[in-house]
Amino acid sequence: MRTLWRYPRNVFETLNPTAQVVSLIVIFSALIEAMFSRLRKNAVTEWQRCRIAVMKLQFLTDGSPDCPLIRLYDSEAADAVRLKELLDCLAIGSRTSISLHEQKGIEPVDGCQLNLRVGKRDTGIVQKGPFTFECDLTPAGWADVALLIEPFCEAAEANTYQWLNEYGQISLLLSPAGTW
């Protein structure tokens, strides 16, 4: 009888055919049990990882004493992780600009466009058109913003928010629930 599985000659092939089949059944049943127990324990986590979340990007001209501001909201931990990864790219210099509104998982509200750029100075957000903005920070500035996002990379408490940048006339706000 040909063996179905290749183990070292001294272990598997020395067993009789019945023992070989029983060994394979035990091995495969253990693998299947491990897979299903992991899925049972982490079913919600696995589902959330597969879901493509959408963080909204919105420019608010008024409605609060803090306006004008650009708000990143309606987000979950996975969105914050993706955003932090993008900002880390700016901080380490692997990218010099990112059009945030074009990124997967970002939904611009009312056509809001935000371009993040590495600059020589921390100038913050500047309005270039009705709903077009540029945010220039140094690599150290982007590293600081990435650090501010870290607490949101895990499940954040309800109604939490963080000002990510307050240089210039327009501030940048991260608020998972949209409130501040």
With respect to residue 133, please indicate whether it lies within any of the assigned structural domains.
yes
- How many domains is the chain partitioned into structurally? 2
Residue 102 structure tokens: 């074009």
With respect to residue 47, please indicate whether it lies within any of the assigned structural domains.
no
Domain that holds residue 19: 1-41
Asked whether residue 31 falls in the same domain as residue 57, the answer is no
What is this structure's pTM?
Answer: 0.70
Asked whether residue 34 falls in the same domain as residue 67, the answer is no
130 preceded by a cis bond (ω within 30 of 0): no
Three-state secondary structure call for residue 9: coil
**pLDDT tens digits for 91-140?**
999 999 999 999 999 999 999 999 999 999 999 999 999 999 999 999 99
11 φ/ψ angles, rounded to the nearest 5 degrees: -110, -70
Number of CB atoms found within 10 A of residue 28's CB = 11
Comparing CA positions, the residue from 69, 67, 58, 86 lying closest to residue 149 is 86
With respect to residue 6, please indicate whether it lies within any of the assigned structural domains.
yes
With respect to residue 140, please indicate whether it lies within any of the assigned structural domains.
yes
Q: Is the separation of the CB atoms in 137 and 119 below 8 Å?
A: yes
Q: Which of 51-60, 145-154, 169-178 has the lowest mean pLDDT?
A: 51-60
Asked whether residue 37 falls in the same domain as residue 57, the answer is no
**pLDDT tens digits for 24-58?**
777 777 777 777 766 555 544 444 444 456 899 99
With respect to residue 180, please indicate whether it lies within any of the assigned structural domains.
no
Strand partners for 70: 59, 172
The confidence score (pLDDT) of residue 22 equals 73
CATH number of the domain where residue 171 is located = 3.30.1360
**pLDDT tens digits for 1-11?**
555 545 455 55
